[in-house]
Structure 1
Amino acid sequence: MFSVVIPLYNKEDFILSTVESVLGQNFTDFELLIVDDGSVDGSLLALKDIDDCRVRILPQSNQGVGAARNKGMAEAKYDWIAFLDADDLWSIHHLNELNEITKISSSLGMIATGSLKTKNLNLPTAEQYEPGKIRLVDYFVEASKKPELIHTSCVAINKKVFHDIGGFSDKGSGEDLEYWVKVALSYPVAVSDKVTSYYLLGTGGIMDTQHKARQKIPQVISSINDMSPAISLLVKESLKNPDILKEKRIKKYINSVLFSIVKVAVYNDNIFLAKGYSKLALPQLNSTYIFFPIFRVTPNLILNKIKNRYSKAKEVRETLID
């Protein structure tokens, strides 16, 4: 059985659709905890006609999304806690798929289905349910290839994880990725490739906020500790266990985050800053690490041409999503 946690803050235009996507699940053994984080719009009014004994609304003063998720986790009755943002949607098979993943091992700490970015509210509905390809993964290796391997609205956490390592921080940006790292350091992770979670673009929600935040990189990153909350956590853990930063999978993950930061700096027209960041890469024999020394000696004119080509290709992709 699942406890579903939705942190809610000023999402009157989306929350009803989000809740209905939960109540419409084929897997019906769940409770739904909506943590109202001090909404001041009509979010709660939009839910006034919901009449389902599985739904509980938990009010709190505005404390941020991390605190809202933590309240829901603390109140959860069941062993698995599935998260859903207040402006995202699930297919009718989402909890079914999560349940299938839980069957592969009793020691799992974190599980996730496939997810998709979309601007389309009309989700596909399939009458027949077929499980996806389910597998155990090394989070750090997989996330270095696919940074959004695990997104909040496709993930579930075993409640024992919350009891053992606590909840989300209150950083306001990057606290989700930080938490996935924290969990993956201590527990096995399993995923399915079946897409059952959809996060909507252009809603002004958590994903849009995080995307904008990731575009606003700091002007000075003096050490890998400054890159992100997730990397900062790894650095702190290395103080207890110095071997952590020597592990190939951890170095690969850190370099992939640095690669994203360098890329953002380039497309923000700050190549000088990007080349400075690239010097922080951890030595490793793979294509990502090899990129950094090559990048540092590539003339800025060539880098600008590459950036312009990428920008045009990105516009085409975004048009196709629309």
Structure 2
Amino acid sequence: MQQPLVSIIIPAYNSAKYLADAIQSALNQTWGYTEIIVIDDGSTDNSLAIAKGFECENVKVFSQPNKGAGAARNKGLQEAKGDYIQFLDGDDLLSPDKIAVQLAALANNEGRIAVCSIVHFNDNDLTEANIPSPYEESFLNNDDDPVHFITDLLGGYRETGSMIAIHAWLISKEIIDSAGPWNEELTIDDDGEYFCRVILNSKGIVKTPGFCYYRKYTDADKVFAYRRNKEKLFKSALKAVLLKRDYLQSRTNTPAIQKAIYRQLMHLAVLFYIEQPALYKQVIKELKHYPVYKFKPVLGGRVINFISGVFGWRVSKRLQFYYVKILR
């Protein structure tokens, strides 16, 4: 029987500092039947030159004008020949056995997708001491009900939800095709919206051993870019939540789903308050369609959260906003 080919898709935008390590982690896979597709999304640093340095028979490099990560991943999907798809951002890493372990698990689980544990590390501080978050691990379970899995992830059964890094997944091309392309209009939470569709087009989730590595770092340029594009990012965040709501409620509309969407919208209400009045009003309008559930936002440190508990989060947000404004 022919071994399945896995396409590893790596979008890169100004990822020169980390890109070589990401590509090398793809090359280091113990599963030998892979193709690596790197899409440079209009980088202004030497990311493209670094990717070209790896170009060979099974490492293909493409370049396009800057269109965003979703467009770069869609280009990768167009070029992919694999039976399975592995997404990998240009600053993250795969453990060497990640793909092999997940393929073995999926061999007897047709129609399902695989997910693995995620190790977070700060910039270049990756050591054996880094372990997965026990809290995040509690959301990563075998589940034959995709709706249940997503609802739990969004906070429908607990007081909070969680996130899953995109490279934790391994997905068959058949499921990828049925889910449709990345939404190129979204600039934030595009992965949440996309994987909501992917999960719902599967027959369930298989949790596998092993790890992938998610890099966390403080980058001043990214902070400034966030401030410059805040309104665009906020609009994307709201659109992503509403799309996820539509996908879930098209299947069923349980109290748990209502709670999950309520919590997602409340997070946005807190985020938009004061700084984005039009979007805030839109979120409040959406919230009127839901019962009121317990919600305790985390606004920062112990003092501001204490004030929030006593006087409410709106008072705390106003104090926080004007305090930061004075510091600037």
Normalised TM-score (structure 2) = 0.69
Partner of 1:173: 188
Q: Structure 2: 5+ residue runs without aligned partners?
A: 130-136, 297-306, 321-328
Which residues in structure 2 correspond to 1:68-79 (within 5 Å)?
68-79=72-83
Partner of 2:218: 202
Partner of 2:133: none
Normalised TM-score (structure 1) = 0.70
Partner of 1:152: 166
Partner of 2:312: 303
Q: Distance in 1 between matches of 2:54 and 2:150?
A: 40
Secondary structure of 2:46 counterpart: coil
Partner of 1:316: none
Q: Which moved more, 1:30-39 or 1:251-260?
A: 251-260
C-alpha deviation, 1:67, in angstroms: 1.1
Give the 3 Å change call, closer, same or farther, for CA 139–281 of structure 1 in structure 2. farther
The alignment status of 1:30 with 2:34, answered yes or no, reads yes
Q: Structure 1: 5+ residue runs without aligned partners?
A: 127-131, 293-297, 312-322
Give the 3 Å change call, closer, same or farther, for CA 196–182 of structure 1 in structure 2. same
Give the 3 Å change call, closer, same or farther, for CA 103–201 of structure 1 in structure 2. farther
Contact 2:241–2:265 at 8 Å: present in 1 too?
no
Contact 1:217–1:261 at 8 Å: present in 2 too?
no
Partner of 1:118: 121
Partner of 2:301: none
Secondary structure of 2:142 counterpart: strand
C-alpha deviation, 1:61, in angstroms: 2.5
Partner of 2:150: 140
C-alpha deviation, 1:265, in angstroms: 5.2
Contact 1:91–1:125 at 8 Å: present in 2 too?
no
C-alpha deviation, 1:88, in angstroms: 1.4
How high is the sequence identity, in percent, across the aligned residues? 23
Give the 3 Å change call, closer, same or farther, for CA 148–4 of structure 1 in structure 2. farther
Which residues in structure 2 correspond to 1:212-251 (within 5 Å)?
212=226, 216=230, 228-234=238-244, 236-237=246-247, 244=251, 246-251=253-258
C-alpha deviation, 1:279, in angstroms: 7.8
Q: Which of 7, 11, 22 pairs up with 2:11?
A: 7
* 1:11 counterpart letter in structure 2: S
Give the 3 Å change call, closer, same or farther, for CA 260–49 of structure 1 in structure 2. same
Secondary structure of 1:113 counterpart: strand
Which residues in structure 2 correspond to 1:79-94 (within 5 Å)?
79-94=83-98
Q: Which moved more, 1:253-262 or 1:17-26?
A: 253-262
Q: Which of 96, 99, 109 pairs up with 1:105?
A: 109
Q: Distance in 2 between matches of 1:91 and 1:64?
A: 26
Partner of 2:271: 264
C-alpha deviation, 1:42, in angstroms: 0.7
Contact 1:113–1:155 at 8 Å: present in 2 too?
yes
Secondary structure of 1:56 counterpart: strand
The alignment status of 1:96 with 2:111, answered yes or no, reads no
Secondary structure of 1:163 counterpart: helix
* 1:155 counterpart letter in structure 2: W
1:162-195 superposed Cα distances (whole Å, 9 cap, x missing partner): 3223210112222211111222333234153743
The alignment status of 1:63 with 2:73, answered yes or no, reads no
Secondary structure of 1:182 counterpart: helix
Give the 3 Å change call, closer, same or farther, for CA 24–186 of structure 1 in structure 2. closer
1:190-230 superposed Cα distances (whole Å, 9 cap, x missing partner): 1537432323322579xx67x958x9579x99xxxx96233
Give the 3 Å change call, closer, same or farther, for CA 235–149 of structure 1 in structure 2. closer
Q: Distance in 1 between matches of 2:310 and 2:141?
A: 45
Contact 1:88–1:200 at 8 Å: present in 2 too?
no
